[in-house]
Structure 1
Amino acid sequence: MCATAALHETGFSMLDLLYAPFSEFEFMQRALVGVIAIALGGGPVGVFLMLRRMSLTGDAMAHAILPGAAVGYLLAGLSLPAMTIGGLFAGVIVAVAAGLVSRFTALKEDASLAAFYLLSLALGVTIVSLRGSNVDLLHVLFGTVLALDDSTLLLLAAISTVTVLALAVLYRPLVLECVDPVFLRSVSRSGTPTHLIFLGLVVMNLVGGFHALGTLLAVGMMMLPAAAARFWTSDITMMMAVSIVVGIVSGLSGLLLSFHAELPAGPAIILSAGAIYVVSLVLGREGGLLWLAWPGRHLEA
């Protein structure tokens, strides 16, 4: 009886560790809703970024939104509309400028994006430093996922909704462009519009992630779940679903880790996603290290 009681007590305490932070604190509930919204939109976008070999493009675009958000901060403080509009405007400008540079000069797109990324990061930090304190700079760089208000949650929900609907409409040309872009251009003129709309979705999700995780970590909720999902399935639709699940689990576990270990919430979420990626790298059925080390067992399964 004593052992049974002890087991029940341990079970209830473990349940409390998982449930109590979200049942007792509203800021934890808001943070969880926010990271779920980010995962719903960011995971599928990250899958297509990865399949199109544009992972580093996503990282560059995450930093490209910083000057626009910083200008919005300079003009209106920590205003959600001002920083959102500024970030979207800056992201679009950098995407178009990098494309034009790579098209009309000898510089490749990755090099032009790297140049704009470095300039954007330096310019954004400088603009924030002109008016704000170190706390404001940390807010811009690392986000405030534990301080999401209603308007920010509505923005994140709207971005994830638009993203899911747009990907549903553009799914076929996006997949064709990943598999065989030459064939897509030969049978349809939708390649260029699809690419531009997709870049717009990338910028939108990065701006949404920026409000929660900051410009330095926003791309992490895109690329780490997508990279982890690639080790579990080769089907693109399933890959998108797995990336969403990984993103949600990462957000939940990161928030719990932050709450109980008193760690910064944004980095804890990205570390959780990184841990899932490492586990997937080792154990994943599609190219995981253990499956590559024992190919016979893989074939038998």
Structure 2
Amino acid sequence: MNLHVLDAFIEFGFMRRSLIACLALSVSLTPLGVFLLLRRMSLIGDALSHAVLPGVAIGYLLSGMSLLAMGLGGFVAGLVVALLASWISRVTQLHEDSAFAGLYLGSLALGVTLVSLRSTGVDLLHLLFGSLLAVSHQSLVFIGVISTLTVTLIAIFYRAWVFESFNAIFLTLKIKRLPSLIQAMFMAIVVMNLVAGFQILGTLMTVGLMMLPAIAARCWSNRLPIMLGVAISLGFISSAVGLTWSWYQSIPAGPAIVLVATLLFLTSVFFGSHKGIFPVRKMSSHCSTSKE
């Protein structure tokens, strides 16, 4: 890599903090995206990213740009929407995704309305799309704690989440309430990570770093450990390239990172060795056969 590309990270502390924060988020967000993909809940992350906005807005109205207040408010709001959507799907004939759709649209509108009561356009853009300058030492510690906690819980409950993702009926037969408890805990962790990501990526862009590397990883393998490793690696690449691009082109960090992740996703769709349109492995095998 050209040394000039690294100048921003060498000279400016906030750029280094932003990079470390994004790498930490990649370690925790992308595995959660893989599990959401396995559960066929890819769009639930998007719904929850909108659902946290009212809580973030209320924390902002009460305490200004307080990380603790906005983070706590976002976590409570997202968790309430997740639990309410699950309850609605159980007591009605609606599917859970329909319940999420109805709730997150209202949450998004309410959040934007609340933020606009006291904010300038810059403040609103900061909450929706993130800001490089927002990553303080306090934010970095907060993201590090959330990422460490998430990785620890994934390691502890890995087998349970895999079973619940593929065969929740089996777990229901073994222990009646276990799948519901596992799902509630999983959704709480997803909300927690979305709240951690809004400081750097914004509430609307965090889900991009969560889902795009996960979906791209599915194009390269159907083995879960490999998918997790590929997803984290693609998250690292998206973060580093996106932050560099955002600095030198003066564009918001969140959209830049998500755009890079989108390019990696499209590349995987075309050339992924497992589900790609033009799989690399098949192309190389064809070339070898032709030479023979």
Same fold (TM over 0.5): yes
Displacement of 1:296: 9.9
Q: Which of 219, 229, 243 is the matching residue for 2:231?
A: 243
> Comparing 284-293 with 88-97, which one deviates more in the overlay?
284-293
Are positions 1:134 and 2:94 aligned together?
no
Are positions 1:66 and 2:48 aligned together?
no
Residue aligned with 2:206, SS: coil
Residue 47 of structure 1: aligned partner? 34
Unpaired runs of 5+ residues, structure 1, are: 1-13
Give the structure with higher Rg (CA).
1
Residue 187 of structure 1: aligned partner? 174
Residue 145 of structure 2: aligned partner? 158
Q: Distance in 2 between matches of 1:273 and 1:290?
A: 20
- Aligned-residue Cα RMSD (Å) equals 1.9
How many pairs align?
A: 287
Residue 77 of structure 1: aligned partner? 64
Q: Which of 250, 261, 264 is the matching residue for 1:276?
A: 264
Displacement of 1:237: 1.3
Residue 254 of structure 2: aligned partner? 266
Residue aligned with 2:141, SS: helix
Q: Distance in 2 between matches of 1:34 and 1:293?
A: 34
Displacement of 1:187: 2.9
Residue aligned with 1:254, SS: helix
> Comparing 120-129 with 146-155, which one deviates more in the overlay?
146-155
Displacement of 1:294: 5.4
Q: Distance in 1 between matches of 2:97 and 2:233?
A: 30
Residues 27-61 of structure 1: per-residue CA shift (max 9 Å, x gap): 11011011011101101000000110111111101
Letter in structure 1 aligned against 2:220: W
Q: Distance in 1 between matches of 2:193 and 2:267?
A: 26
TM-score of the aligned structures, taking structure 2 as reference length: 0.94
Residues 102-147 of structure 1: per-residue CA shift (max 9 Å, x gap): 1112222111110111100000000001111111111111111343
Letter in structure 2 aligned against 1:82: A
Kindly indicate whether the alpha-carbon contact (under 8 Å) linking 1:34 and 1:145 is maintained by their aligned counterparts in 2: no
Residues 79-124 of structure 1: per-residue CA shift (max 9 Å, x gap): 1010001001101111111111111122221111101111000000
Q: Distance in 2 between matches of 1:28 and 1:132?
A: 25
Q: Which of 24, 32, 41 is the matching residue for 1:37?
A: 24
Displacement of 1:274: 0.6
TM-score of the aligned structures, taking structure 1 as reference length: 0.91
Kindly indicate whether the alpha-carbon contact (under 8 Å) linking 2:129 and 2:202 is maintained by their aligned counterparts in 1: yes
Residue 279 of structure 2: aligned partner? 291
CA 1:296–1:18 in structure 2 vs 1: closer, same or farther (change >3 Å)?
Answer: closer
Displacement of 1:261: 2.2
Are positions 1:227 and 2:232 aligned together?
no
Q: Distance in 1 between matches of 2:83 and 2:253?
A: 33
Q: Distance in 1 between matches of 2:250 and 2:275?
A: 36
Q: Percent identity?
A: 46
Letter in structure 2 aligned against 1:209: G
Kindly indicate whether the alpha-carbon contact (under 8 Å) linking 2:131 and 2:252 is maintained by their aligned counterparts in 1: no
Displacement of 1:163: 0.5
Displacement of 1:260: 2.0
Kindly indicate whether the alpha-carbon contact (under 8 Å) linking 1:142 and 1:213 is maintained by their aligned counterparts in 2: yes
Displacement of 1:186: 2.2
Displacement of 1:241: 1.3
Q: Distance in 2 between matches of 1:85 and 1:276?
A: 33
CA 1:254–1:146 in structure 2 vs 1: closer, same or farther (change >3 Å)?
Answer: farther
Kindly indicate whether the alpha-carbon contact (under 8 Å) linking 1:30 and 1:146 is maintained by their aligned counterparts in 2: no
Residue 200 of structure 2: aligned partner? 212
Q: Distance in 2 between matches of 1:128 and 1:35?
A: 25
Letter in structure 2 aligned against 1:231: C
Letter in structure 1 aligned against 2:81: V
Q: Distance in 2 between matches of 1:153 and 1:237?
A: 27
Letter in structure 2 aligned against 1:264: P
Displacement of 1:188: 3.9
Displacement of 1:26: 1.2
Kindly indicate whether the alpha-carbon contact (under 8 Å) linking 1:68 and 1:86 is maintained by their aligned counterparts in 2: yes
